[in-house]
Chain A
Amino acid sequence: MALEARGTTRRVLRYVVLVLVAALVLFPIYATLMAGFKPGTKVLDHPESLLPVDLTLDTIRDAWDTGNLGRYLVNSFVMSVAITIGQVITSLLAAYAFAFLRFPLRNTLFLVFLATLLVPAEATILINRETIQTWGWIDSYQALIVPFVATAFGTFLIRQVFLTLPTDLREAASLDGLGHLAFLREVAAPLARPTIAAFALFSFLAAYNQYLWPLVVTNDPDYRTVQIGLKSLAAANLDQINLVMAGTVIAFVPILVILLIFQRQLIRGLTAGAVKG
């Protein structure tokens, strides 16, 4: 009896701690939501500014128009979807070559791929901006997309899956007259689908959240992404903090929804990097 009571107390205590910690973690998001849905006059009233009263959609609408956020969201999605599709295709092709084909310098080339993971984007962006400028690509979708269309990370992940497929599979397929590309399309890629899905979500998220590169290759608002749009919105309207927070809500909510839907793939994608090799 006493033991049972102690168990109950501990469980209640655990819930209390969980709720308190959850409230702390969520607090910045909550405060942002409250500010983003408040009319300008109410955002500075304490403590009502943190309570769900006087809420209005006008601020969100206002931020959407003033900040040109509709256009920026479209740009962000176009860029992120294109990068994701590009990365999946180039990674599938390269992973197939490394896993199923025999060719000279295979190990050396694989090391070259892995070496790219050691080069931080921050070390190359400076010169890549120069390249993009030389090509006349400043303020264009191709500037936002093309440099990121290949990744050794995706190649590595998909190759790992391909290596686990039984070799008889390829032999049987080639007896059936299936060429390499048909085998990749019909057999290998479908079998790697869970990993590809996880990797695709990971690439999409990384592309959508990019900051430095879109900042240095776009000046024209027509090609700005939503992250850079937020920077301009904040710089121009710092005296209207509710408007800035409404913009933040607009940039944040689509990603939050996507992640809630694809939580499982996300966890797979993030932990894939952590697997012991």
Chain B
Amino acid sequence: MSRSRAREVLLALALLAPSLILFGVFIFYPLGRAVYLGRYRGTSDNLRYVGWEQFRNVWESNEFHDAMITTVQFALITVPIGLVLGVGLAVLADSYIRGIGIFRTIFSSTVATSVAVASLMWLLLFQPSVGILADALPFDVFTEPGVLNDEDTALWAVSVTTIWSNLGFTFIIVTAALQSIPVDLYESSALDGARSWMRFTNVTVPMLGPTLLFVTVVLTIRAFQAFGEFDLLTGGGPGNATTTMTYLIYGNNSLIRNDLGLQSASAVLLFLFLLVLSIVQFRGLERRVHYGA
């Protein structure tokens, strides 16, 4: 190897080192350590060996099972509704009429809300003692004890918060995709006498395919990672009605809060769950992109 070639390799190593060291310490090491600790029970200064079967025990436990069902329900509510509403807003604002910029800014605005800000905004609306939704809507669920304290509605109420705060993101992505659809596709479809609904199903939806899959992947992963809205709005309750996998691992009211081993095993299972999910979704994404292009 020539001297300049050796220097290039050394330089590359130096440029990659900061990222590689940080990834090693804060991403790969913790994954390995979680797998290791997942075989133990107890706190970090008092660990008791259980063995690999702890992963199976956690997987089969009622607590993890319930949390998994709750998480999947949360994703099944927030992802499709969020997607439909976001696309609806984008299509509604996709025309060149006077003042459309203001509406686009308004529809994007929820992207500026953090999870804490969005949760507290909706806490105000849900709070039966303040009574904003209770007065505005003719449903008894909004009066005391309130939607957040009712086992049947709590997950839906948190979902509304999440859907709303994700709207801006979905709107921005879908709007950008709509603007990249060539106008002549619409023109030739109009020449064929297609009405607006047919134009939407025959031109818009197929052209949006890859974007819709991308948004689906992002929204699904966000649903599985959601923590702040549960921490602020329901604390995992009432009962365990809103205890998701993430809340089970990190929540203040969680049963396994003081057991590093059980938390680690749950974290590994959450990781595997998301890994399988992303691989499945990216496979789908890849296939659609080839069709779409």
Q: CB within 8 Å of B: which residues of A?
A: 11, 14-15, 17-18, 21-22, 25-29, 31-32, 35, 43-44, 46-47, 49-50, 89-91, 93-94, 96-97, 101-104, 106, 109, 112-113, 116, 118-128, 130-131, 146-147, 149-150, 152, 155, 180, 208-209, 211-212, 215-216, 227-228, 230-231, 234, 241, 244-245, 247-248, 251-252, 255-256, 259-260, 263, 266-267, 270-271, 273-274, 276-277
Q: Which 8 A-B pairs have the closest CB atoms?
A: A127-B30, A209-B114, A123-B271, A150-B22, A211-B228, A124-B30, A103-B12, A150-B19
B38 to A: closest C-beta gap in Å:
10
Check B57 for interface membership: any CB of A closer than 8 A: no
Known: A244-B120, A260-B105. A122 touches B249 (CB 8 A): yes
Which among B30, B214, B268 has the highest number of chain A CB atoms within 10 Å?
Answer: B30
Which among B129, B130, B260 has the highest number of chain A CB atoms within 10 Å?
Answer: B130
A271 to B: closest C-beta gap in Å:
4
Which among B44, B117, B125 has the highest number of chain A CB atoms within 10 Å?
Answer: B117
Are A122's CB and B121's CB within 8 A?
Answer: no
Q: CB within 8 Å of A: which residues of B?
A: 5, 8-9, 11-13, 15-16, 18-20, 22-23, 25-31, 33-34, 37, 44, 89, 92-93, 95, 97, 103, 105-118, 120-125, 127, 129-132, 135, 164, 167, 169, 172-173, 176-177, 210-211, 214-215, 218, 221, 224-225, 227-228, 231-232, 246, 249-250, 260, 263-264, 267-268, 270-271, 274-275, 278, 289, 292-293
Chain B residues with Cβ below 8 Å from A274 are 173, 176-177, 210-211, 214-215
Chain B residues with Cβ below 8 Å from A44 are 129-131
Are A241's CB and B225's CB within 8 A?
Answer: no
- Output the nearest chain A residue to B214 by Cβ-Cβ distance: A274
